[in-house]
Amino acid sequence: KGTLTDTPQLEKYTAGTLVNITFTSEAGNMLKAQARIQDDGSYELNDFDVSTLADEGGGYESLQVSAITQGLVAKPSTAKFVAGLHSASGFENTLTINLERELPNLPEGANWLMDATITDPDGNVLSQASGALSFNGFGALIGNTLGPLSNEGAPVNIDFGSLYNPDVPNSGFDGIVMSERASGIDSQQKDGHADGLFKAYATSEDGTILAVFDNGMQAAVARVPLFHFQNDQGLFSEGGVYFSPTANSGKAFMYAKEDGRLYNGSVIKSHMLETSNVDLNREMTMLIVQQRAYEASAKSISTSDQMLQRAINMKNG
């Protein structure tokens, strides 16, 4: 006798279906019989004579029995997720997660066996871990036992979402969920970035010098300080755009926040051309004055030339 409900992966059986039972002796002789499946999945064969299969001593120690019937067997559902991982060496490794639904199916919910593997660009395995994801009857995540993974020494933390808590809205549904539709990734987020080569410099408004890389990342490498004086007009001009502090201007200082952090106090514009800082009205007035002075000087030269010419003419006459 036996019970079909103890058969792994069995999805469904039909009461009344025949079970073909075969008895085989060590010598290879066989006897066949049949029994029917009951409503509870059990089957039983009684009062069947197997004496013809006895060995020379009348025993049955080597007798083998097999029972075969037809039923609907569940095929475990599978899913696969693949994502790229940036490594400290600058290469992009690959994270592969294979999921297989555990059988037999639970009355509510399901457990999914999980294998996670990290490989390098050449396919070499860098790290492996296994575990299981558990879901309730609503498809919400209720358990995660995936072991630790390492990406060239850096720990990899995979966030499948929060575990279901009936007192917390959306918990268990904000990450991976179980549903009847085809498996897939709707969205994924990852930190880190690919290897990048230096491309250019840029300056932010607070004076920070940024190194720009071809992978779209930026890094602060320096900062331009902007000093202030109590009296800017008291600075001594060294010529051009150079000035020196004096007792009248006071010492140079920088603004500081309440926590002691220094800041420029003014905005620095990058890739901008500064306009002229002269007073246009004053310069136009000075230009007119200089023009009139030139005209007066030119007039006096002309008058002097005429007087000299007249004197020469009087001498010759």
Residue 289 has pLDDT above 70, yes or no: yes
CA dihedral 173, 178, 184, 188 (to 10 degrees): 30
Residue 181 has pLDDT above 80, yes or no: no
Between CA 262 and CA 224 the distance in angstroms is 12
pLDDT (tens digit, 9 = 90+) per residue, 49-95? 888 888 777 666 778 889 988 887 778 888 999 988 888 777 889 99
Model pLDDT, residue 60: 66
Residue partners of 129: CB distance under 8 A and separation at least 6: 115, 116, 146, 147, 148, 149
Sequence-separated contacts (24+) of 136-139 with Cβ below 8 Å: 136/108, 136/109, 136/164, 136/172, 137/108, 137/109, 138/164, 138/172, 139/173, 139/177, 139/178, 139/179
Residue 36 has pLDDT above 90, yes or no: yes
pLDDT (tens digit, 9 = 90+) per residue, 191-243? 766 777 888 888 888 888 999 988 788 889 998 888 889 998 899 988 777 88
**Entry pTM:** 0.50
